[in-house]
Amino acid sequence: MADAPKLVNITVDGKPVAAPAGTLLIEACKTVGIEVPSFCYYPNLSLQGACRMCLVRVEKMPKLQTACTTGITEGMVVVTDSDEIRQARKSMVEMLLGNHPLDCPVCDAGGECELQDMTFSYGAAESKFIELKQHRDEQQWSPVVYFDRPRCILCYRCVRVCGEGMDVWALGVDNRGAVSTIVPNKQDHLECEECGMCIDICPVGALTSGAYRYKTRPWEMKHVGTTCTHCADGCKTTLGVRRSDTGMEIVRGDNRDKSGINGDFLCIKGRYAFDFANNEDRLTQPLIRKGGRLVPATWEEAFEFVGRRFKEVLDREGGRAIGVIGSTRTTNEENYLLQKFARVALGTNNIDHHRTADFPAFAAALHGKSGATASMRDVYNASAILLIGNDPTEEHPLLAWQIRNNVRLHNARLYVVNSRPIKLRRQAASFTQVTSETDFTEFLGGDESLASFATREGWNAVRDKLRAEQGLVIIFGSEIFGEDIQALARFAASVPGAKLLCLGDYANSRGAADMGLYPDLLPGYFPVSGAGKFHQEWKITPAAPGMNIGQMFEATKTGQLKALYVIGANPVGRLNVNPSTLKNTFVVVQDMFLTETAALADVVLPAANAYEKAGTFTNTCGDIQILKKAGEVTTAKPDFEMIVRIADAIGFDVRKLVPFGHGVHADMGQSRGAQSGEADQHAVWLEANGLEPKMSPFDPVATLDEIQRLVPGYDVSRTELLAGNDQHTSIAAMGPGTVQNPELIVPAKNNLFSSGTLGRYSRTLNSVIENKDPEPADAVPTD
Amino acid sequence: MPILKNIAAIAKGMSITFMEMFQPTTVENYPDGPGPLRGAKFQERYRGVHVLQRDENGLEKCVACFLCAANCPANCIYIEAAENTAENRISGAERYAKVYNIDYNRCIFCGYCVEACPTDAITHGHGFEIATFNATNLIYRKEQLLAARPAHLGANPVFNSAEVAGGAPAEVAPGE
Ligand code: SF4
Ligand code: SF4
Ligand code: SF4
Ligand code: SF4
Ligand code: SF4
Ligand code: FES
């Protein structure tokens, strides 16, 4: 690190301010709590100086100066508020309102509009203009982006965020001066990533979103900050919810307080693809197969039936005849509970999930090497990044944003090694194209005697440059697995301070792996044979590894597996299982929709999604974050509750699964989002009446306690977690992992507009896909 | 002479009483008076059951801006917004109120909603006979609050709020 930058002393409104040289005046003012109004200035975007709202008086300068473009200099004396300045700002607002329609009552920005705020503060309510206002009809640029030209105040934030931040450059400016107008890249429509960043950043209601248009107003919603349920990057998204006849309906997703690891960013999925929750195809009642058809049943009936059938199999053949398949989108608590249910209540290790990355091998490679994993924040701050495989622009939009902006703002060096010319090569200092999987291995192995090294020009040069980097972050996708991860870890060990990051595909893929949804691994990558403290805690743990997902479906064919319990997964759709093989297996599925797997099941239980429950998610970097309950659908239950109910129906003592009742304390609902106030009041009432708050068996917090106690690396601060902050868990502190079965890793291959089963039921994502040009012009302009 | 003074004061007071006794009565003869209001008389400013107004084209004035709901101290206004389309044009602006309920269990007739409304859509009418035996009848729907369409545009069947509250069938043709 360079020396701390020199501090410059200035005076703002009589207050002394010291800030590093090169700081902009507007930012320096913020450090002492003086907010200089601005429209066009936006932190971390290039300077525009277009709106002149930020005018301040700097001593010894003849005219008012724009604080957003003026750097501070020693001894500067600044006044940010005086009659002269207020008058100047008032005139600016008056100008902006000259042709502004002021249709706030029907404008989606109303209540959250910076122009409204400024008009209130500077009171330019009366206009000197008598000319007729020029009207232009609103234009729809894409399924999610609408543009209302007269409302635009030409701050160019949208143009800059789309170009500089997103590297999409889909928006531009036509004409000059007062007749300038913002235009999309395809004359009358947009061909872009549909991230909605431009809508978010627009200070007024000129750019509005198709998903939220005219639905409600900001003050009518409750705003719940939770974690995105799509890709594995773990953005914080704020869901606006409103009461509806089925509970709480999610009406909007956005990045309201920008306090998450994603900073300003959200991609289309985190912002608009919450709508799967409102899809009319959602299951609304339990279904039981009777006479070959799935017919509606009551919850009691369904649980009792599942319990009875599981019990029959258990009594006849024991746990090894039951298989359990977990989800990559259920919470850590649910995953932990599920594997505990399988191991303790069913007595089987037949448990697996859809693997999208080789986390056990990653754990094996980094066992005991603390500080060797990178968090999402590290990606933004690292001085150099090596990206091997994967296409983050499509599969990990936040990661791509972090990389791009690290390169743009901190001059980080990006090295890309890939078999495809991925878009991030535009930011790369070096791009190495490999042609095959073996190339990856050889590049990593670095055995310079290999023939490929002689033939591949530049390989050695890249490796030498990488070795010279300080603070390198190495990011790799599912192309690298098994032994290759070991090789990569060895390479990383040869670069001082290097950190690794392994990319899985779904929102809680990492959590599913960490929580032990493996036939041979317990939570924290401990082998099932050496159960140790888990055994002490749980009393029973089968020691022999169980069947993996592939073996389970083989075993259904031979009749070895009599029952299958699937939670939030669609293995039939993904593994192309022949429906007839499941004929003799009793299949129970918990899902939101009638997926290919659910359609074959004997019992289908409608499940709540991640936006409708409390818990925690671990993103692909290992950053753990809280989920708060935002939406609610009274016709579905969280998977947590259903697992407990089924355990109870089997006749298992659920107290051994989840501690509850007398003597067990928990947070009593701080994590329950929109409903939290009620739970807290309840706790206060109990306390006041000398009663002890007791936990329900369906509260996941006691399970989080157990995870934090038993899984090393998860012992993060509970306060930080409840406050909604991300914290990095350490895989190095966990168990030894294993290296095996790379063939079970099936990448999700989601792109920007798809998201597994959830994507299929999202109207916004589908409408965007339908609207794409059948033959898009090369998305990556040739550089 | 204090006694004489007191007698004079009483006599003066009683003279007014006796004078008024022979004036015609000004008490309202509600509910036995003539006309649709059955003898009730109102000041113009009287704040009764709300009326959602229409514009000169018969379109609803309400644009579902939610400002009345935001301003309502009793929190009794419930709105669901929807977008106007060419085929289904309800209000003059981009948006209209698909659902507009006022809960008269809670409304305190303060008039704040009327003050908040940017389009003069919500107004206080003079309706006051809203007592009912069933509290759910006190939640008035948009159809009950809406002003009748002007006759030259083809008056629509309207809801007579008082009668619906009293259990009459929901749609009552105008004039009935
Ligand atoms: S952009 Fe702001 S000021 Fe303009 S109409 Fe919308 S809410 Fe009103
Ligand atoms: S949605 Fe995103 S990619 Fe599209 S124009 Fe807006 S900022 Fe650019
Ligand atoms: S559309 Fe919005 S963000 Fe873009 S220039 Fe206009 S006001 Fe600024
Ligand atoms: S980048 Fe991933 S986590 Fe972030 S909003 Fe998009 S899908 Fe969600
Ligand atoms: S009645 Fe007036 S204030 Fe209320 S939503 Fe309609 S337009 Fe807005
Ligand atoms: S904020 Fe300084 S000119 Fe716009």
Please answer yes or no on whether B67 and A106 come within 8 Å at the CB atom: no
pLDDT band at A779; cut points 50, 70, 90: very low
β strands within chain B, DSSP E: 49-52, 77-83, 95-103, 122-127, 139-140
The fold adopted by the segment(s) A287-357+509-744 is Rossmann fold (3.40.50)
Contact: B93, A217; criterion CB under 8 Å: no
Under 8 Å between Cβ of A526 and A514: no
What are the DSSP E strand ranges found in A200-343?
207-209, 222-227, 236-244, 247-254, 287-290, 293-296, 322-325
Q: For residue A672, give every residue at least 6 positions away whose Cβ sits within 8 Å of its Cβ, in sequence order, or none.
A: A614, A628, A629, A679
Between vectors from CA B27 to CA B25 and to CA B30, what angle results, nearest 5°? 135
Ligand in closest contact with the CA of A64 = 6
Q: State the greatest distance between any 2 C-alpha atoms of chain A, in Å, as a whole number.
A: 93
Q: What percent of chain A clears pLDDT 90, i.e. is strictly above it?
A: 72
Test mutation, B62, B65, B91, B101, chain A, max A CBs within 10 A: B65
State the burial class of residue A139 (Cβ atoms within 10 Å of its Cβ: 0-12, 13-18, 19+): middle
Considering only the C-alpha atoms of chain B, give the largest distance between any 2 of them, rounded to a whole number of Å.
89
Q: How confident is the model at residue A58 (pLDDT cuts 50, 70, 90)?
A: very high
- Average pLDDT score over residue span B59-84: 95
Q: Chain B residues with CB inside 8 Å of A209's CB? A: none
User: What local confidence, expressed as pLDDT, does residue A190 receive?
Assistant: 94
Pocket of ligand 3 contains residue A156 by CB under 6 Å: yes
Phi, psi of A609, rounded to the nearest 5 degrees: -95, 180
* DSSP at A693: -
Distance CA A473, CA A477 (A): 13
Cα(A154) to centroid(ligand 6), Å: 11
B95–chain A Cβ distance below 8 A for any pair: yes
Distances from the Cα of A543 to the Cαs of A326, A394, A529, in angstroms? 20, 41, 5
More confident residue, A693 or A49: A49
CB-closest option in B70, B82, B95 to A219 = B70
Residue A456: pLDDT band with limits 50, 70, 90: low
Listed by start position, the domains of chain A span 7-96, 104-209, 287-357+509-744, 359-503
> Using one digit for the tens of pLDDT, what is the confidence trace for A131-187?
888 889 999 999 999 999 999 999 999 999 999 999 999 999 999 887 899 999 998
Residue range A510-554, pLDDT digits in tens: 999 999 999 999 999 999 987 678 888 888 888 899 999 999 999
Which percentage of chain A shows pLDDT scores above 70? Answer: 91
Query: How far, in Å, CA of B43 to CA of B25, rounded?
Result: 19
pLDDT at A113: 96
φ/ψ (deg, to 5) at A593 = -130, 165
Residue A7: count other Cβ atoms within 10 Å of its Cβ: 12
Mean pLDDT over A415-442 rounds to: 87
Q: How far is the CA of A126 from the centre of ligand 1 (A)?
A: 16
Do residue A105 and residue B94 have CB atoms under 8 angstroms apart?
no
Q: Tell me whether residues B95 and A220 touch, CB distance under 8 A.
A: no
Residue carrying structure tokens 């530049």: A458
Is the pLDDT at A411 greater than 80? The verdict is yes
Beta strands in A491-544 (DSSP E): 499-502, 521-522, 526-527
> How far is it, in rounded angstroms, from Cα A608 to Cα A660?
22
- CA neighbor of A593 nearest in space, from A754, A763, A753, A761: A761
Domain A359-503 top-level CATH class: alpha beta
Tokens of A614: 């409390």
CA–CA separation, A670 and A664 (whole Å)? 16
- Contact criterion met (CB below 8 Å) for A353 and A517: yes
SS (H, E, C) A281-310: CCCCCCEEEECCEEEECCHHHHHHHHHHHH
Identify the closest residue of chain B to A107 by CA–CA distance: B65
> Using the 8-state DSSP alphabet, how is residue A160 labeled?
H
For the domain covering A7-96, report its CATH number: 3.10.20.740
Q: Report the relative pairing of strands A526-527 and A521-522 from DSSP bridges.
A: antiparallel
Give the CA count within 13 Å in the CB-facing half-sphere of A52: 15
Mean pLDDT, to the nearest integer, of A388-409? 96
Task: Give the pLDDT score at A663.
Answer: 55
Which residue from A66, A89, A201 has its CB within 8 A of the most atoms of ligand 6, so it is best to mutate? A66
The gap between the terminal CA atoms of chain A, to the nearest Å, is 32
pLDDT higher than threshold 90 for residue B172 = no
pLDDT digits (tens, 9 = 90+) for A247-283: 899 999 999 889 999 999 999 999 999 999 999 999 9
* Helix (H) or strand (E) segment spanning residue A271: helix A268-272
Atom in ligand 4 nearest the alpha carbon of residue A401: 1
Contact B94 A215 (CB under 8 A): no
Q: Note whether A213 contacts B83, CB cutoff 8 Å.
A: yes
* DSSP H/E element including B103: strand B95-103
Nearest-CA neighbor of A328 among A306, A361, A353? A353
Short-list A528, A445, A551, CA closest to A738: A528
Query: Shortest CA distance to A584 belongs to which of A314, A321, A271, A209?
Result: A321
Closest CA to A423 of A390, A445, A467: A390
Neighbours of A776 (CB within 10 A): 8
- Pocket test of ligand 4: the residue of A197, A226, A239, A398 to mutate, having most ligand atoms within 8 Å of its CB, is A398
Closest ligand 6 atom to the C-alpha of A66? 2
Q: Is A245 on the interface with B (CB under 8 A)?
A: no
> What residue ranges define each of the domains in chain B, with the CATH number in brackets?
1-41 (no CATH), 44-165 (3.30.70.3270)
Give strand ranges (E) for A219-312: 222-227, 236-244, 247-254, 287-290, 293-296
pLDDT of B176 strictly over 50 = no
Tokens of residue A230, six digits: 């799509």
Q: With an 8 Å Cβ cutoff, is A694 touching chain B?
A: no
A213 in reach of chain B (CB within 8 A): yes
Split at pLDDT 50, 70, 90, the class of A578 is: confident
Q: What is the Cα–Cα distance from A102 to A116, expressed in whole angstroms?
A: 9
State residue A179's pLDDT score.
Answer: 86
Instruction: Provide the terminal-to-terminal Cα distance of chain B, rounded to the nearest Å.
Output: 70
Is there a contact between A759 and A765 (Cβ–Cβ < 8 Å)?
A: yes
Helix A359-366 / helix A483-493 crossing angle, nearest 10 deg: 40
pTM as predicted: 0.89
* Ligand 2 center–CA A189 separation, angstroms: 11
Range from A341-345, A456-460, A589-593, B10-14 carrying the lowest mean pLDDT: A456-460
User: Ligand 2 pocket, A503 CB below 6 A?
Assistant: no
A670 has pLDDT over 80: no
pLDDT, mean over chain A: 90
> Taking the CB of residue A122, how many other CB atoms lie within 10 A of it?
20
Q: Where are the alpha helices (DSSP H) in A57-138?
A: 83-96, 114-122
- Residue B123, beta-bridge partner list: B51
- Give the whole-angstrom CA distance, residue A468 versus residue A494: 10
Fold annotation for A104-209? Alpha-Beta Plaits (3.30.70)
Q: Which residues pair with A24 in a beta bridge?
A: A71
- What gap in Å lies between CA A173 and CA A136, rounded to an integer? 17
Residue A654 near residue A664, CB atoms below 8 Å: no
Using an 8 Å CB-CB cutoff, list chain A residues near B90: none
Tell me the per-residue pLDDT of A24-57, one tens digit each, with 9 for 90 and over: 999 999 999 999 999 999 999 999 999 999 999 9
